[in-house]
């Protein structure tokens, strides 16, 4: 893209009404990362891996009733059981391997009328929509749909104002972004008023006249909805920049034109969105400035949300670098025809969370002892910790109670000590992700995820360590090595 085109693009972006009423669900974490897409590929394994945020009821086949009955959500508003997803971001090592990057997303709800008498309404129940195009290889500066996909290069320690090399743009940056590269997607906000979806998942929606992020709706799509905007943040600064091709989405896009976003409305109380529209005039991002949302927001519940359904049975990079992107997703820079693959095997599905061993039951979250550990029989810690691993370990040692804590610790016992009891506390207190599975939680600070089996059967520790469990690597400065399992065992009172 030329300098003049980039400047025009940036000017258009900032011409929007940035002071409009809005709230941000910031630093939202994925509820699951897997190759599913219930809008484009319902009921089957999808074309590429997605990072999915929001309701735990996400499944291969979308159903509004299933969504609103999700047990939890990773957004800070418990009534928001919607799902928000995008293609996953990978670091491409010079050796050709792909490292799945840890990510987060900021989700914006904006009230942007095109005029003083323009009525904004909440999303209808069950609405589905897309932004962006998985098969786009070029940029059309006159297309609102193309303008709606953009990128920012984040550097919190230096001011790059006026530097075109750092200006917001429609594709990847050609230099390092120290504090991350932010992929952005603005959804169409004009609805035809009749269809919750359409065959191409786009025709029932439209962008406002003459702009993608503000203005009046066309007569063909007269219902002006809330505006929805994603900021998907990839920590690129934690990886070396190796020139073009350093970054890739899971669809093989190493340029940035094929970034896209999906949304399914799963709000259980649409009146909360109506309250945002009508009664939050001072909301400029912070949900605390919208009384209706402030009254229900719960960051601890969001952090404790577990995805307990099924994922695609394949290696997507949760346990270290992978040699190829899952599915038929070869690198493509937009030139020529998108490369194709031969017939690939279709994987099946597995549980996202390893079931507890036979005879073990989850009791819930309990508080640690007031003057010491609640369970004092044995303590174990390791990088492959899950609730199933903790239960199996305590069973092998002959204990009836197992408690996971701080993500990678496990405590065993036959009774409660130091003032502790089996009385449960809110599950939100157990919000630390398991060391070996980011889909589940293993207790929290001074809180145990408690499991119980009155008649534990021995399970050999050697076979226990071999239990396969996905793990999410930390952000490396280069491609991380495969993670080894390290265990520390402390047997007391035996």
Q: Is residue 317 part of a domain?
A: no
Q: Are residues 366 and 300 in the same domain?
A: no
The phi and psi torsions of 38 (rounded to 5 degrees) equal -70, -10
Residue 466 in this model has a pLDDT that exceeds 50: no
Domain boundary among 254, 285, 312: 312
Average pLDDT value for the chain: 89
Q: Are residues 306 and 366 in the same domain?
A: no
Q: Is residue 280 part of a domain?
A: yes
- Domain around 408: 361-491
Q: Are residues 308 and 222 in the same domain?
A: yes
Q: Is residue 419 part of a domain?
A: yes
Q: Is residue 268 part of a domain?
A: yes
Residue 441 pairs with which residues in a beta bridge? 433
Q: Are residues 307 and 387 in the same domain?
A: no
Residue 422 in this model has a pLDDT that exceeds 70: yes
| Token pair recorded at residue 484 | 């080894």
Task: Give pLDDT, residue 333.
Answer: 85
What is d(CA 150, CA 231) in angstroms, rounded to the nearest whole number? 10
3-class secondary structure per residue, 204-231: CEECCCCCCCCCCCCCCCCEEECEEEEE
Task: Give pLDDT, residue 20.
Answer: 85
Question: How crowded is residue 194: how many other Cβ atoms within 10 Å of its Cβ?
Answer: 9
Task: Give pLDDT, residue 14.
Answer: 37
Q: In terms of pLDDT, which residue wins out, 361 or 16?
A: 361
Q: Are residues 264 and 409 in the same domain?
A: no
Q: Are residues 242 and 372 in the same domain?
A: no
The answer to whether the Cα torsion of 163, 164, 168, 174 is positive or negative is negative
Q: Are residues 18 and 145 in the same domain?
A: yes
Domain boundary among 288, 312, 336: 312
Q: Are residues 12 and 123 in the same domain?
A: yes
Q: Is residue 417 part of a domain?
A: yes
Q: Are residues 63 and 186 in the same domain?
A: yes
Q: Is residue 328 part of a domain?
A: no
Q: How far is CA 64 from CA 116, 204, 268, 457, in A?
A: 33, 18, 10, 42
Residue 6 in this model has a pLDDT that exceeds 70: no
What is d(CA 81, CA 123) in angstroms, rounded to the nearest whole number? 13
Task: Give pLDDT, residue 493.
Answer: 34
Q: Is residue 436 part of a domain?
A: yes
| SS3 state of residue 404 | strand
Q: Are residues 274 and 415 in the same domain?
A: no
Task: Give pLDDT, residue 7.
Answer: 35
Report the predicted TM-score, pTM, of the whole model to 2 decimal places. Answer: 0.87
Note whether 435 and 410 are within 8 A (CB).
Answer: no
Q: Are residues 291 and 419 in the same domain?
A: no
Confidence label for 19 from pLDDT (cuts 50, 70 and 90): low
Q: Which of 50-54, 86-90, 381-385 has the lowest mean pLDDT?
A: 381-385
Residue 337 in this model has a pLDDT that exceeds 90: no
Residue 478 in this model has a pLDDT that exceeds 70: no
Domain boundary among 312, 347, 378: 312
Task: Give pLDDT, residue 190.
Answer: 98
Q: Are residues 383 and 268 in the same domain?
A: no
Residue 288 in this model has a pLDDT that exceeds 90: yes
Domain count, the chain: 2
Residue 89 in this model has a pLDDT that exceeds 90: yes
Residue 480 in this model has a pLDDT that exceeds 50: no
Note whether 390 and 384 are within 8 A (CB).
Answer: no
Q: How far is CA 278 from CA 119, 271, 275, 282, in A?
A: 10, 10, 5, 11
The answer to whether the Cα torsion of 366, 367, 373, 379 is positive or negative is positive
Q: Is residue 257 part of a domain?
A: yes
DSSP 139-163: --TT-HHHHTEEEEE--TTS--TT-
């Amino acid at each position: 893209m030329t300098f003049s085109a980039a400047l025009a693009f940036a000017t258009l972006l900032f011409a929007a009404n940035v002071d409009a009423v809005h709230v941000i669900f910031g630093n939202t974490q994925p509820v699951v990362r897997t190759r599913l897409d219930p809008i484009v590929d319902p009921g089957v394994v999808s074309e590429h891996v997605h990072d999915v945020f929001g309701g735990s009821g996400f499944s291969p086949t979308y159903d509004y009733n299933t969504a609103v009955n999700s047990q939890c959500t990773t957004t800070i508003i418990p009534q928001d059981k919607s799902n928000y997803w995008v293609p996953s971001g990978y670091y491409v090592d010079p050796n050709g391997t792909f490292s799945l990057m840890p990510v987060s997303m900021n989700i914006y709800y904006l009230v942007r009328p095109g005029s003083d008498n323009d009525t904004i309404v909440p999303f209808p129940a069950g609405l589905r929509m897309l932004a962006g195009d998985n098969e786009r290889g070029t940029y059309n500066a006159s297309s609102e749909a193309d303008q709606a996909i953009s990128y920012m290069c984040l550097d919190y320690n230096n001011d790059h104002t006026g530097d075109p090399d750092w200006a917001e743009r429609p594709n990847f940056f050609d230099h390092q972004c120290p504090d991350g590269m932010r992929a952005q997607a603005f959804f169409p906000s004009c609805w035809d008023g009749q269809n919750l979806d359409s065959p191409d998942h786009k025709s029932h929606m439209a962008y406002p006249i003459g702009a993608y992020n503000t203005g009046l709706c066309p007569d063909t799509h007269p219902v002006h909805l809330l505006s929805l905007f994603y900021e998907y943040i990839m920590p690129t600064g934690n990886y070396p920049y190796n020139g073009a091709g350093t970054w890739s989405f899971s669809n093989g896009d190493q340029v940035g034109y094929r970034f896209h976003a999906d949304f399914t409305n799963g709000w259980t109380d649409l009146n909360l969105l109506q309250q945002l529209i009508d009664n939050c005039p001072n909301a400029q991002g912070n949900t605390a400035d919208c009384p209706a949302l402030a009254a229900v927001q719960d960051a601890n519940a969001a952090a404790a949300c577990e995805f307990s359904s099924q994922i695609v049975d394949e290696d997507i990079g949760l346990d270290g670098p992978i040699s190829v992107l899952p599915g038929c997703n070869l690198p493509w820079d937009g030139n020529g025809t998108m490369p194709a693959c031969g017939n690939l095997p279709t994987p099946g599905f597995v549980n996202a969370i390893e079931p507890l061993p036979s005879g073990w039951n989850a009791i819930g979250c309990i508080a640690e002892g007031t003057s010491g550990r609640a369970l004092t029989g044995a303590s174990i810690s390791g990088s492959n910790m899950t609730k199933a691993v903790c239960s199996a370990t305590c069973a092998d040692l002959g204990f009836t109670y197992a408690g996971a804590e701080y993500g990678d610790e496990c405590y065993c016992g036959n009774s409660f000590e130091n003032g502790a009891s089996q009385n449960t506390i809110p599950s939100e207190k157990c919000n630390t992700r398991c060391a070996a599975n980011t889909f589940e939680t293993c207790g929290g600070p001074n809180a145990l995820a408690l499991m119980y089996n009155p008649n534990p059967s021995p399970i050999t520790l050697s076979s226990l360590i071999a239990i396969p469990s996905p793990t999410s690597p930390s952000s490396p400065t280069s491609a991380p090595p495969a993670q080894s399992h390290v265990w520390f065992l402390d047997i007391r009172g035996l």
